[in-house]
Amino acid sequence: GGAASHVFVVLGASGDLAKKKIYPTLWWLFRDGLLPPKTYFIGYSRSKLTVDDIKKKALPFMKVKNGEEQKVEQFFKINEYIAGSYDSPGDFSKLNKAIEQKGSCNRLFYLALPPTVYESVTLNLKATCMSKSDKWTRVIVEKPFGKDLESSNRLSNHLSALFKEEELYRIDHYLGKEMVQNLMVLRFANRIFSPVWNRDGIASVVISFKEPFGTQGRGGYFDEFGIIRDVMQNHLMQILTLVAMEKPPTTNAEDIRNEKVKVLKSIQPVDIKDTVLGQYVGKPGGKGDEAQGYLDDPTVPKGSVTPTFATAVLHVKNERWDGVPFILRCGKALNERKAEVRIQFKDVAGDIFPDGEVKRNELVIRVQPDEAVYLKMMAKSPGMSFNCEETELDLSYSSRYKDLKLPDAYERLILDVFSGIQINFVRSDELYEAWRIFTPLLNKIETEKPKPITYVYGSRGPKESDKLCHDRDFIYTGTYKWNKPEPA
Ligand code: BG6
């Protein structure tokens, strides 16, 4: 009981995102005492459910440990559930009444909803559910933010007519990852990197995302979007932006986002000639999922040419980066789960060592799994010999920091919404630029329907992608393998 300070409303509470991510995240924040005291939760969706039903759905994803059972009970005690439709003003005023009953408080609305109901839900929120007097209202939205420049602009215009930019929190959960947040510190707090962080020092940049599983029954959703919209246009572009932007004058959200927009404006639309598109097929003789190709997913339309793998080379036409290829690479059903940034430096000038012995330096920022930053470099082979040898300076988090537990991306981001910190949320002009860069390519794929190159489930993806990288000055020698160090 008692008056609330904050009410957090999950719209779409019966859905997948809510049970897998949002409720578990709220629970972890509650468990760790990170939320403001007197925060309450209300779930809202069409199904006639109870808090107990929500609990049953979310529990398998909440990672409750022994001894936390009572705390879980406390958490669900401060939860409510309201069934209502997404277009009925009457239902939204029921929701509003439920919030008002908790007194004058700040309100957060999380739209864990299909994009088809975004418009009506936001209209109703604006009309009926905004907080009064000196309390604030914040609205959290998830991708898809449209599916091309035009539909994204339509959504942006719709939202900006209802809410101020300070009230809108567009989530790209990659911005909540430790290593993505680390990019700013690595770049702007280290004198050793600043003089070489440009076209004189850097040959190429590769940003990659790999997943070892296919669409897993999400094929219906996925087929309308494809890997370029699902991962490249948002997550990988955000990383690219942080690698390429100029130093902002301060670390406040508007200064940072201004720089992000500025560098995006220097990027030309992607040319289909600079891409390799792939689609996975089942592994012959494979077991279970790996035997299933993308087109074998019953939710995928027959003969679909939607890419599940894509490599694209982007060009940043500014004084710092002109001529440096930024290669984005992502795919489903590959050989491993990994996301990383690889900054490959130019060859040593006037090399005095035997041909081929000296390899390029590479700075690798491993986003996941096994968070690490390591610098591949040459050193003398230890001992009598005078050969050069590849080695590394390695900052592996698991060995450098004992018992480290990094927060989940959603935990940080949702907490940022409570605190009103917008650094790690996407501003509407950023979104506009990202769609501008990809829309011509997406249109071309839609109209010309180029047949994607097939690759086998569990492989490294199409060989054509490796060739494209090589042609664009990313030299993979295969002579060196980074080994994960022992835990601390
Ligand atoms: C989501 C994509 O945005 O990111 C999914 O829609 C993808 O297809 C997921 O699996 C990857 O997120 P993470 O945090 O597991 O790397």
**Is-contact 261 430, C-beta < 8 A?**
yes
What does the block give as tokens for 221? 């959703």
Nearest CA to ligand 1 atom 9: 231
pLDDT value at residue 34: 96
Distance from Cα 173 to the centre of ligand 1, integer Å: 8
Q: At what angle do helices 23-31 and 69-77 cross, to 10 degrees?
A: 110
Cα separation, 86 vs 80, in Å, equals 18
Atom of ligand 1 nearest to the CA of 234: 3
Backbone angles phi, psi at 413, to 5 degrees: -70, -45
| Residue of minimum CA distance from atom 10 in ligand 1 | 211
pLDDT at 219: 84
Atom 6 of ligand 1 has which residue's CA nearest to it?
A: 230
Q: Which pLDDT score, from 0 to 100, does residue 1 have?
A: 54
pLDDT along the chain (488 residues), means of 10: 90 95 97 97 97 97 96 97 97 97 96 93 97 94 93 96 97 97 98 97 98 88 94 98 98 98 98 98 94 94 96 98 98 98 97 94 97 97 92 94 92 98 97 98 96 98 98 91 81
Instruction: Say if CB 54 and CB 79 are below 8 A apart.
Output: yes
Q: From the alpha carbon of 339, which atom of ligand 1 is closest?
A: 16
Residues designated as active site: 235
Residue from 173, 213, 294, 332 whose mutation best tests the ligand 1 pocket (most atoms within 8 A of CB): 173
Residue closest via CA to ligand 1's atom 15 equals 211
What's the 367 CA to ligand 1 centre distance in angstroms?
13
- Ligand 1 is surrounded, with C-beta below 6 A, by 173, 211, 230-231
Does the bond joining 144 to the residue before it have cis omega, within 30 degrees of 0? yes
Residue 44 has, within 13 A of its CA and on its CB side, a CA count of 29
Task: Give DSSP secondary structure letters for 108-133.
Answer: EEEE-S-GGGHHHHHHHIIIII---T
Substitution candidate for ligand 1 out of 230, 340, 367, 426 with most atoms within 8 A of CB: 230
pTM of the model: 0.96
Q: How far is residue 102's CA from residue 269's CA, in Å, rounded to a whole number?
A: 50
What is the structure's pLDDT at 108? 98
Distance CA 108, CA 163 (A): 13
